[in-house]
Amino acid sequence: MKVVPVAELKVGMYVDAVHQQKGDMKVKTQGRVANENAIAFLKSKGIVSLVIDLEKSDLSDELQQEGQVSAPEEQVKATRKVSVSLEDELTQASALYEEAKHIQKKLLHSIKAGLPVNFAPIKEVSDRFVASLDRNPNALLCMTHLREKDAYLLEHSLNVGILMGAFAQYLELDEDVVSELALAGTLHDIGKIEIPDNILLKPGKLTDDEMVIMKGHVIKGLEVLKKMDGVTERLFNVVAQHHERLDGTGYPMGLDEDDINIYGRMIAIVDAYDAMTADRCYKRGMPPNQALKIILKCTESELDRALVNKFIKYIGVHPVGSLVKLDSEKLSLVTEHNEDNPLSPKVKTFYSFRSNHFVAPKEVNLADKHCREKIASAVRAEDIKINYKKFFAEQIVVAK
């Protein structure tokens, strides 16, 4: 793979992805450049640079017609349709998430013990993540909010895999790319299993020496990946770049924006978001809206502004799976994001603060013109005196 400025783009080059652009126009992510008109079109739409696959490029005059990039048309993203109801998919997603934690735990144990690592089970889980996201992405997105403080490494890795897959689908990337990105997210932090707990779980600020050791988790993870059969170049590079930043302040290579591809830019955003919102044994996670504000601030130098804007548009002010309190004093689970009206998602009410009792779960579309209820505030599960995770498993997942 090579990043090529649009000024150096040639007919026959195989475009793997848009690397940098000034506008928000969405183009095909893959294919050969068919003619000079295609190049002129890309320039006119603010494309600055592209990721080129040199092995697939054909710089001869005889170009294959299949998969060509010909003056792409601007695309208006349609609302993604779901094939399965949230209630039905939650049953499968809940079981899948628990199974995934078990498989990921075995994988990390094998790595720490120096045992041979079986790549197949975690890849199968990742593929099933993508299949679930295809049917109804909101189910697994709900699961990413059911956290345990003592399971950060396990859950963070799975959550980044889910969020990467969901974000890639939102960007309408090719199916094989979505699968690779979901798997890369699941594996991005495997090197942390070799970081001593006194550093990995330290509640205070790390010393300079400790930070050097912590940053070493990326290289350690890449060394593990090199021993696995079936790891693609794209997957490897995503893991390698998840802590790189556009201004060159990231690690381990200190790459600048010209050398960080779109997938590395994506995982930098997703990884930071989940890390900031996660509870750990030594600190509480921050609310999603606060994390998104920090991420947006980072677009001044570290993160890709166009991708951050798209991520925020996808995740929403009140992300799917988060809890909110309505002005009727009812506690509700956000079940579906409303891209046209972010402050009025679909929710499921299940608890009354007025009576301090659970109520029968009820779907409410806050955007409905007849609905008089509004969100009063976001709520953290840790701040309410109920066993939300237990209730979610027993009532929300099985509710029909």
| Token couple for 386 | 């109920």
Residue among 270, 282, 346 at smallest CA distance from 307? 270
> CA-CA distance, 160 to 69, in Å (whole number)?
31
CA dist 12 and 68 (Å) reads 9
Instruction: Report how far residue 183's alpha carbon sits from residue 49's, in angstroms, rounded to the nearest whole number.
Output: 26
- Annotated active-site residue 313? The verdict is no
In our burial notation (b when 16+ CB lie closer than 10 A, e otherwise), range 65-103 reads eeebbeeeeeeeeeeeebebebbebbebbbebbeebbeb
Retrieve residue 396's tokens: 């929300």
What is the spatial distance between Cα 212 and Cα 214, in angstroms, rounded to a whole number?
A: 5
Question: Helices 175-187 and 233-241 meet at what angle, rounded to 10?
Answer: 50
DSSP summary character for residue 347: E
d(CA 243, CA 264): 8
Residue 51 to residue 186: CA distance in whole angstroms = 23
Task: Return the structure tokens found at 95.
Answer: 């079981």
Cβ-proximal residues to 336 (8 Å cutoff; 6+ apart), any chain: 86, 138, 320, 345, 346
Report yes or no: 324 and 375 within 8 Å, Cβ to Cβ: yes
Q: Which residues share a beta bridge with 324?
A: 332, 378
Is residue 149 exposed (0-12), middle (13-18) or buried (19+ Cβ within 10 Å)?
A: middle
The H or E element spanning position 121 is helix 120-135
Q: Are 225 and 187 in contact (CB under 8 A)?
A: yes
- Given the residues 45, 192, 310, 330, the one annotated as active site: 192
Catalytic annotation, residues:
192
